[in-house]
Structure 1
Amino acid sequence: MAATVLSLTTLVLTFGYSLYALMGRNRSLTTYALSALFFLAAALELFDSLAVRNPEDLLFWKKYSLLAEALLPPLWLLFSLTYARRSEERGISGTQQALLVLSPVFFLSAVFLPAESFFHSPDFAEERILFLGNAGFLFYIGILVYVVVSLVNLETTLFTAAKSARWKIKFEILGAGLLAALAIFYYSQVLLYRSINMSLLPVRSVVTINAVLFMLYARVKRLGRVRVSVSRQMAYRSVVIFAVGLYLLGLGLVGEGMRYFGPSTRKVLVASLAFISGMGLLLFFLSEKVRRTIEVLLHKHFYTKKYDYRTQWIQFTDRLSSSKTGEELLKAVLSGFCETFGTGGAALFQYDEERRVYTNTVVFEMQPMDTVIADGNPLVESMKSSRRIFSAKDGDAAIEASNREFLARNRISFAVPLHSNGTFEGFIAMGKLINKREEYTYEDYDLMRTFARHASSVVLNLKLSEKLSNAREMEALGKISAFVVHDLKNLVFTLSLMVDNAKEYMDNPDFQQDMLQSLDITIGKMKRLITKLRNFEEKESLNRKASDLQIIAFETVSMVNTGEVRVEARPVIAEVDVEEIQKVLLNLILNAFDATGGKGPVHVEVGENDSAFLRVRDKGCGMTEEFQRKHLFKPFTTTKGKGLGIGLYQCRQIVEAHGGHIEVSSAPGKGSVFTVTLPAFRGAECIAPEA
């Protein structure tokens, strides 16, 4: 009864999880492979249970089990090669490509070969053991090889992941690893006895249920949504290969020794071996401390140096180069320190120039720290003066007395100073040690200093980038402000002309009407300039529309409101931003007035050849050829005592934005002619400029 309940529970959970895995929105090849694996687990549970309960139909149900088992190799391999890996990092080695190509052989053999060629059981009702023929032996040995390779791939994914990503994927890998370890345990009977003991089905059910629960927990908590880059070297350095090799060797030795023990002892040994190997596998997968201890022991006893410096440097620089933002870059620096030197977290402290203290700016695998360390703190002074790395194990009475709470609460193991060009930029505080018994020597400290020099340049570059960004914002604001001030100056000049004329013509009703209209236009332009200055970060675009340049010319001249400007114009249509072209024309007219000493006359011409043009001509002082070549249209260059030197520069920017250009003809004592050429518009209807 208990076996039936266990089997039904396994069947419901595995089939249910198979459907649940497909319910997510981000379905991929990994999702389909995982769903298929659990569907096959449910099918195997069903067919094997029916075979056990109906011994007379053993070969019938086991035929279906064979078909399900035949699909395991390609699915295991696909899942292990794609799970949590970046799409561009899924490079498959030649060996695994060959395994994928050969995997259909399992299904073809299960389809075309009779079940009798795989196994037979003389007395299955009494002893639930399947004795394997040659086909069955090769079939299950092949499955065993594929599962071991898949387990190696999963272990590679787990150990290649950064520490911040590892905890997110470990539960799904643990669940898949349990299924793989179960398959290794179940099919390793082939090597030991050349048979399969189906009385172990309850064990398979229990482990499968646990695997489903691990996977379900990871899915419900939405863990595992990370992508890992796997190096090719990592695929050849696997603890799993070593562990599985030891397991199979031990299994062979146990099998040889079982000849001298009874059947009851045999069951105890097999169960104990399964439990110990399972616990060992979990230990390797989940314990950072064990992993760090193994690494240290390997380097201590098998290598002359603790670190492979070339590999460490490449990994550190690769980690930094993959960062996209400043915060990611700093966290990559901290993660590099943690991964290399075996600490559970790290924090970066930088100097706050306004408060004159060191504050925590970025953390990795630690809680943000509100601790403020003063500039004269013994810890800071020690790192400033001697560039000495502080170690909690070595101890320093003065430093520990001043920072006892900070060191104890955050379990600080090291403090690494960051110097750049003789300037102390801050320090990296490293958290608790993963392996408290690990010894740190000059080799560790030298590598810390090397990393610190690179980290210092990163911190300094980010600081300089931030200052440059602020400077560019101020430069942009200054440039916009200069343009706005120049436009305001021109508008003020038109107002001053209006006031001068009002002294003589104020009683004239026509003048009053023109003055009110000009004031209304000027006030509107001033409001728009203020809005532009307020929203200077927004990129401005031209509001182009088909307009009559003749109307624009008369409108602009009316703003000057003096009889010294003479207009010669005819209707010419061009697609322009009316307000911007008015700025250009107004600036050219005012410059012409300045060139004539404010006396005029100034001639404005509107016409059309192949293109539309606006021409402003005066008989003022003129310009030399050298001045035109070296200074004209250059920003902040002016011959006026109170000028800003950006008027003509702004004019050219506006005209070129319209797809046109400005030409100038001038000579000393003969005046100047400025011609603005604009693309002609051949369209339907034009729009007059708005007041």
Structure 2
Amino acid sequence: MTLFVAASYISAAIAYFFLFFLLLTSWRGRLYGLLLAIACLLSAFWAAAIASQSHWGYPSVFVIEILEILRNGGWSVFLITLLGPFQHRDNPSAPYRMRRSVLIIGLVYLVFLSIAIFYSDQLKLEFATSGRFAFSSGFFSSVIMALIGMILVEQYYRNTSREQRWGIKFICLGIGGLFVYDFYLYSDALLFKKINMDIWIARGWVNTLIVPLIALSAARNPKWSVGIALSRHILFYSSALFGAAIYLLVMAAVGYYLRLFGGTWGTVLQLTFLFGAVVLLIILLFSGTTRSWLKVFISKHFYSYNYDYREEWLRFTRTLSEGELELRSRAIKALAQLVESPAGGLWFKQENGNYSPTAGWNITPPNNAVVAKGSEFCLFLEEKAWVIDLQEYASEPVKYSTLILPPWLPAIPKAQLVVPLILHHELLGFVVLIEPRSAINLNWEVRDLLKVAGTQAASYLVQDETASALSIARQFESFSRMSTFVVHDIKNLIFQLSLMLSNAEKHKDKPEFQKDMIETVALSINKMKRLLEKLSSGNQAEKPEVFYLDKLLWQIVERKNINEPKPVLEVFDPGLIVKADYSRLERVIGHLIQNAIEATPKGGQIWVRLLKKDHSAVIEIEDTGHGMSEQFIQEKLFKPFESTKTAGMGIGVFESKEYINELGGQLAVDSQVSVGTTFAISLPIYQKSLRN
């Protein structure tokens, strides 16, 4: 037996010593690393002392008791340091003050050390006579130390943000497992007045398994630092943990009683009872009703206000802003959480002014539950802005003298609260909440919180409605804009066909004119087909392609040769490649050339030049037309629906500039009245070879 004890605790001592030296070599002067190393060193001495005592008989039991208190204290100090042992003062210049809980824990450990020293002779005597640890006061103090450690681990984990928990979960599991096992060991010892040697031997191996978990967290966290305050959240979980610990102790005592007086079936009754007790504890811990009752109990008996407004408002806005639910369902959930209600429904104002059910959370509102605008119910909510308690209305209707409930409202199972959604003194809707999990006192504080939260939820819902309406308006605007461009293209086609028809009387017998006429008609038909495809496809995304710019310019200029004056193409740098939508760029350049033709008298001249400047392909369209003033260029040229033409729509140059900017290029203009105009289009050159 002694060999098994020695092997178990020697393995734990070696593991702790190894982690200590590992931490010491990587220590960079941080307090947390030093305290962790000290806790590992104390644990190593503690495990080595137990191994030595079991095999060689020394050191004494008194030394082991002291080392165990120091070892537990070392881990507790490390956890307290992570949580923050000092309390910040309101005045930044004032010194920090030690937290009261830290002082209490320190006092508890001093008391345990004093007891151990006082009963040192009794420890030696009992171990010498029985060969086992059988000191009841020591068992009780060990249980208390284990409980303190468990609470510190729980508070550290709960007060760490979700993003940081990945780095501390293993050390919480390790140190928490250490204290949980000690709690189990000494609770059993308290029941049977002696330590179970099987549990005692396994304790060393358990500590050995804990070391890698601590090492993993140490590698992930070069520095631990999390602030802590006594919040309702912490108090809730601490109370739950204390309650669970007391419950387990009581159940263990009852189980021991059943085993002692149950006769032949004592062990069976004990195991069955303990299993049922554990299952009941798990059910209670995960019960929403129990959790709600505990929160209400803490708020009533530990705080002057029912709510921690900072925590509640953060949770409220987080629920409204995030989650997989639709916004209206999230609004119901956010309001329901304030009173621990499990479900609810939302009625929202429609275009006809009536209030219809639009969403539900954990319930399905009745479809025919419509409230007409101007009804007594709506007028009451809008004028009074009260949170209606349906149970109070049923028992004391005098408080709601002018209120007339809709006939379907009392028929909703367990419906209790009606929260108005009022924004700018207008009733936008209301939320019906189901009876809370635990009884609440609907006092002024709860009513005010629900009213303010209802206003906030209403603002979110209105913003969502506005965003939805704006999205629809933008879709119509996009369609209208696309239609405007289509009409503009059709106008250009009509102009080309009209010009061709006007020249037909003079040149219809010429083969060149007949060829140009056929090509112009074919081109117009193709453009109309593309326009129809664009309209039917709903303005789908363009498909850019790579092509030679000089080839595109030759095609455009050739089609404009039926006009007077004819544009002249000059290619100074052939082979320039661009990437764009071929048809749209053709339309943009063609429009600018057509503008030059229309602005230039028949005796004038038009040049279209292609050249390279720096890393850009530049297309210059120069004419000797009537020109434009600087004021017109600055104020009207690039604005939509501004045109100097009688039948012009004023969107051609606007579209040209917009598309050239989309391609990463620039459109510049230089013009003088009665002298002429030059448009310069700069486009980025596509660097890769066209063959690739």
Residues 677 and 372 of structure 1, relative CA distance in 2, 3 Å threshold: same
Q: Does 1:366 align with 2:371?
A: no
Query: Which residue does 1:447 correspond to in 2?
Result: 449
Aligned equivalents of 1:678, 1:422: Cα separation in 2? 56
Query: Which residue does 1:52 correspond to in 2?
Result: none
Aligned equivalents of 2:551, 2:603: Cα separation in 1? 21
Q: 2:586 aligns with which of 582, 589, 597?
A: 582
Query: Which residue does 2:611 correspond to in 1?
Result: 608
Residues 557 and 439 of structure 1, relative CA distance in 2, 3 Å threshold: same
Query: Which residue does 1:348 correspond to in 2?
Result: 346
Q: For residues 380-391 of structure 1, what are the structure 2 equivalents within 5 Å?
A: 380-391=378-389
Query: Which residue does 2:650 correspond to in 1?
Result: 645
Query: Which residue does 1:339 correspond to in 2?
Result: 337
Q: For residues 483-502 of structure 1, what are the structure 2 equivalents within 5 Å?
A: 483-502=485-504
Tell me if structure 1 keeps the 8 A contact 2:139–2:189.
no
Query: Which residue does 1:553 correspond to in 2?
Result: 554
Tell me if structure 2 keeps the 8 A contact 1:155–1:285.
no
Aligned equivalents of 1:308, 1:584: Cα separation in 2? 63
Report the residue type matching 2:521 in the other structure.
L
Report the residue type matching 1:383 in the other structure.
L
Aligned equivalents of 2:633, 2:306: Cα separation in 1? 70
Residues 338 and 153 of structure 1, relative CA distance in 2, 3 Å threshold: farther
Aligned equivalents of 1:138, 1:515: Cα separation in 2? 111
Tell me if structure 2 keeps the 8 A contact 1:613–1:676.
yes
Query: Which residue does 2:117 correspond to in 1?
Result: none
Aligned equivalents of 1:400, 1:181: Cα separation in 2? 57
CA positional deviation for 1:278: 3.8
Tell me if structure 2 keeps the 8 A contact 1:548–1:686.
no
Q: Does 1:665 align with 2:670?
A: yes
User: Tell me, what secondary structure is at the counterpart of 1:450?
Assistant: helix
Residues 250 and 472 of structure 1, relative CA distance in 2, 3 Å threshold: same
Aligned equivalents of 1:71, 1:462: Cα separation in 2? 62
CA positional deviation for 1:416: 0.6
Question: Larger deviation: 470-479 or 536-545?
Answer: 536-545
Tell me if structure 2 keeps the 8 A contact 1:554–1:567.
no
Aligned equivalents of 1:666, 1:472: Cα separation in 2? 36
CA positional deviation for 1:586: 1.6
Residues 241 and 500 of structure 1, relative CA distance in 2, 3 Å threshold: same
| Seq. identity, % | 25
Q: Note the residue ranges of structure 1 that are not aligned, 5 or more in a row.
A: 1-57, 74-92, 120-129, 163-176, 201-229
Residues 517 and 394 of structure 1, relative CA distance in 2, 3 Å threshold: same
Tell me if structure 1 keeps the 8 A contact 2:146–2:180.
no
CA positional deviation for 1:644: 1.8
Tell me if structure 2 keeps the 8 A contact 1:494–1:561.
no
CA positional deviation for 1:285: 0.2
Residues 262 and 362 of structure 1, relative CA distance in 2, 3 Å threshold: closer
CA positional deviation for 1:421: 1.2
Q: Does 1:415 align with 2:418?
A: yes
Query: Which residue does 1:77 correspond to in 2?
Result: none
User: Tell me, what secondary structure is at the counterpart of 1:444?
Assistant: helix
Report the residue type matching 2:358 in the other structure.
T
Residues 60 and 654 of structure 1, relative CA distance in 2, 3 Å threshold: same
CA positional deviation for 1:455: 1.1
Q: How many residues align?
A: 551
Report the residue type matching 2:261 in the other structure.
S
Q: Does 1:626 align with 2:631?
A: yes
CA positional deviation for 1:575: 1.9
CA positional deviation for 1:464: 1.4
Question: Larger deviation: 535-544 or 504-513?
Answer: 535-544
Q: For residues 188-207 of structure 1, what are the structure 2 equivalents within 5 Å?
A: 188-196=187-195
Report the residue type matching 1:527 in the other structure.
K
CA deviations 1:192-215 (Å, max 9, x no partner) are: 445245899xxxxxxxxxxxxxxx
Tell me if structure 2 keeps the 8 A contact 1:346–1:364.
yes
User: Tell me, what secondary structure is at the counterpart of 1:631?
Assistant: helix
Aligned equivalents of 1:409, 1:585: Cα separation in 2? 68
User: Tell me, what secondary structure is at the counterpart of 2:370?
Assistant: strand
Residues 96 and 427 of structure 1, relative CA distance in 2, 3 Å threshold: farther
CA positional deviation for 1:417: 0.7
Report the residue type matching 1:463 in the other structure.
E
User: Tell me, what secondary structure is at the counterpart of 2:576?
Assistant: strand
CA positional deviation for 1:335: 2.6
Q: Note the residue ranges of structure 2 that are not aligned, 5 or more in a row.
A: 17-31, 62-129, 163-175, 200-226
Tell me if structure 2 keeps the 8 A contact 1:357–1:372.
no
User: Tell me, what secondary structure is at the counterpart of 1:480?
Assistant: helix
Tell me if structure 2 keeps the 8 A contact 1:71–1:106.
no
Residues 189 and 317 of structure 1, relative CA distance in 2, 3 Å threshold: same
CA positional deviation for 1:465: 1.6
Residues 272 and 637 of structure 1, relative CA distance in 2, 3 Å threshold: same
Report the residue type matching 1:340 in the other structure.
L
Q: Does 1:242 align with 2:242?
A: yes
Query: Which residue does 1:309 correspond to in 2?
Result: 309
Aligned equivalents of 1:444, 1:585: Cα separation in 2? 68
Tell me if structure 2 keeps the 8 A contact 1:346–1:428.
yes
Question: Larger deviation: 665-674 or 178-187?
Answer: 178-187
CA positional deviation for 1:420: 0.9
Aligned equivalents of 2:599, 2:38: Cα separation in 1? 87
Tell me if structure 1 keeps the 8 A contact 2:488–2:652.
yes
Tell me if structure 2 keeps the 8 A contact 1:494–1:560.
no
CA deviations 1:84-109 (Å, max 9, x no partner) are: xxxxxxxxx99997899689759965
CA positional deviation for 1:634: 2.4
Report the residue type matching 1:419 in the other structure.
I
CA deviations 1:476-518 (Å, max 9, x no partner) are: 3333333333233222222222222233333333322222222
Q: For residues 49-68 of structure 1, what are the structure 2 equivalents within 5 Å?
A: none
Q: 2:483 aligns with which of 477, 481, 484?
A: 481
CA positional deviation for 1:424: 1.5
CA positional deviation for 1:427: 0.9
Report the residue type matching 2:298 in the other structure.
L
Aligned equivalents of 2:244, 2:688: Cα separation in 1? 80
Tell me if structure 1 keeps the 8 A contact 2:663–2:683.
yes
User: Tell me, what secondary structure is at the counterpart of 1:629?
Assistant: helix
Normalised by the length of structure 1, the TM-score is 0.65
Aligned equivalents of 2:405, 2:393: Cα separation in 1? 12
CA positional deviation for 1:71: 13
Residues 243 and 95 of structure 1, relative CA distance in 2, 3 Å threshold: farther
Q: For residues 277-288 of structure 1, what are the structure 2 equivalents within 5 Å?
A: 278=278, 281-282=281-282, 284-288=284-288
Question: Larger deviation: 343-352 or 528-537?
Answer: 528-537
Aligned equivalents of 1:632, 1:182: Cα separation in 2? 82
Tell me if structure 1 keeps the 8 A contact 2:667–2:680.
yes
Aligned equivalents of 1:188, 1:638: Cα separation in 2? 93
Question: Larger deviation: 186-195 or 615-624?
Answer: 186-195
Tell me if structure 1 keeps the 8 A contact 2:159–2:228.
no
Aligned equivalents of 2:181, 2:364: Cα separation in 1? 38
Report the residue type matching 2:609 in the other structure.
V
Report the residue type matching 1:526 in the other structure.
M
